[in-house]
Each structure stands twice: as C-alpha cells, then as structure tokens.
Amino acid sequence: MSLATFQDVAVILDDRFQRLHIGSARLEKLAEGCRWAEGPAYFPAGRYLIWSDVPNDRMMRFDETSGTVSVFRHSSGYSNGNTVDRQGRLVTCEHGNRRLTRTEHDGSITVLASHHQGKRLNSPNDVVVKSDGSIWFTDPAYGIDSDYEGHKAESEIGACHVYRIDPHTGDVRMVAGDFVRPNGIAFSPDESRLYVADTGATHVKDGPRHIRVFDVDDSGNLSGDSVFASCTQGLFDGFRLDEAGRIWTSAGDGVHCYESDGTLIGKILVPEAVANVVFGGPKRNRLYICATTSLYAVMLPVNGVKTF
C-alpha cells in the first residue's frame, strides 16, 4: 500500500540530502499488526526479510518477490535484533532466553552466547557480524525490565555492556562497559569504526540519547570514544550505513540521515516511531523500516554496505 511520494515525506536539512532521494519513489507500508516491529535482516539468496515482533514473541517474514507476509517463527524467545552472517545464516538476539543464537542452514539452533564470566546476559538487543567472523552485540536490560519484551528478572551482571564473540574460540569478551543502555550497533564501511547507540534516556533523567563512535583495531579493541550525534526527536535505536559511510538511523519521527562528519542532513518522515532499518533488495538500495506496528520500505539512490 503506497502512502506518499518521497518528496512528500523527505525533509531536506542540508543540500547534501538533495541527491539522496528519488522523486518518484514512494514510502510503502508492506505489513502491519505488530506490537513492536524490530530487528530487520535481509536474505539476498531468497529475496526475503525477517523481522521481530518482540512483545508478540514471534518473527515475521516478508517475501520480496510476491509481497506476502507470514510468521517465520513462534515462539521466538522474544527475539529482537537480527542480522545475517557471512555464510548466510540468521543471527538473533533473544530477549526472553537472554542469549544470542544462530539458525543453521538445516534449521537447527546454535547458542553463541548466554553468559559472561559465569553470569547470565541481560537481554541481547542488536548484533552485527564483522568480516573476520567476530560477532558484536549489545546487552541492555529491556528484556528483563518487565514481562512485555521478555521475562522480568534481576540482572546478574548488574550493568549493560557491549560484547564481542571471538571467531576462533567463541569466547565472549566485554569491549565497552560504560553505557547506560547500549542499543543499535554497526560498523563503518571499512570496519575501522564502530557505532553504538545509547538509549539510556529511557531509564535515566536527561540520560543519553546518542550514537557513540569508536576506533577498532585488528584485535577487536576499541579506542577514541566520542559522541557522533545526539537524537533530535525521540531516541536512536537501530541503524545501518550506506557505502559512502552515511548513517540511516531510526528516530521518533522517522529515519534520520547523517553524513559521516556527524551532520544531520535529512529525514524520511514515517507515521510511526521507527525502531530499526536495513538495506535490502538485489542492489541493497531498498531501505526496509521497522516502525512500531508496521513494516515500511522506500527505494533510495544509494546502496547499503555489503555485509553478507
């Protein structure tokens, strides 16, 4: 169902955004009926999208070739963030089961991480796989805060961190420990920088509502921490980058686009608060948008970073 032309929903804040939209493109609603749509992951081999409907404890599937929507998995362990690894397998953050899993090609489930130093994780939220096979994920406490997105429980770790899973040993290592509520996570196109959102304002008065950026060395160590951008409407949640290093991020009024220098250059207004996005389509130029109850998409004249 088409909603409006891109020109009707685009907000140009900087001349650099002028060339980042197609006048005839439309913001389309592809599916509805979710409670909290999150964690889109695109599978190019099958041309389909998987996303999470967290409070409904299910994962949904959109077939790009036919436009059909179906339930992919129920129950899903209150899945949240998802991604596709370099072998085309689904990697999932499970709020309810407090773990990170991988769905193998035969459909079996492999647990990648459930504990750190003998203590249960809080509720893994978002995840990205680096080209060296290492897996990076955030672990806020949203899934144990109540029974809405998981199962209410006390945190065994007592804080919310960012972790890295070693591609050779499977060891889980904390790489950043000073976040209030680490959330969305993504690498720059050359993987030299790591971006992580902090949505701590949900729990702390005047708390963080920004994206931080770190330098990454070959051993997976982070340095050079700085605030990349602060959200001007609502909170940043999930986000992805295009090939030029621009960040396309969720926000309270839609999708915000940031240049690599941290300048907010434009917005795509969406009727619902946006939780996460991913680039899909055969050319990675269709931006899929998970927004509260619905799945949207819009064609762009840019291509997302190839991560598969």
- How does DSSP assign 103-119, residue by residue? E-TTS-EEEEESEETTE
How high is the pLDDT of residue 54?
98
Residue-wise pLDDT for 89-101, tens only, equals 999 999 999 999 9
Whether pLDDT at 1 is above 60: no
Whether pLDDT at 79 is above 90: yes
- Furthest CA-CA distance within the chain: 54
CA 298 to chain CA mean position, Å: 17
How high is the pLDDT of residue 5?
76
Provide mean pLDDT across the span 163-190: 97
Provide mean pLDDT across the span 39-52: 97
For residue 56, the SS3 value is helix
How high is the pLDDT of residue 22?
85
Residue 36, number of CB atoms within 10 A of its CB: 18
In the block, tokens 């959109």 appear at 62
Whether pLDDT at 2 is above 60: no
Contact 85, 91 (CB under 8 A): yes
How high is the pLDDT of residue 3?
63
Whether pLDDT at 75 is above 90: yes
Provide mean pLDDT across the span 107-111: 98
Whether pLDDT at 267 is above 80: yes
Residue-wise pLDDT for 112-158, tens only, equals 999 999 999 999 999 999 999 999 999 999 999 999 999 999 999 99
Percent of the chain with pLDDT over 90: 94
Whether pLDDT at 103 is above 70: yes
Residue-wise pLDDT for 248-260, tens only, equals 999 999 999 999 9
Whether pLDDT at 295 is above 80: yes
Contacts of 239 (CB under 8 A, 6+ apart): 184, 186, 195, 197, 211, 247, 248, 249, 250, 276, 277
User: Which pTM does this prediction carry?
Assistant: 0.97
CA 178 to chain CA mean position, Å: 20
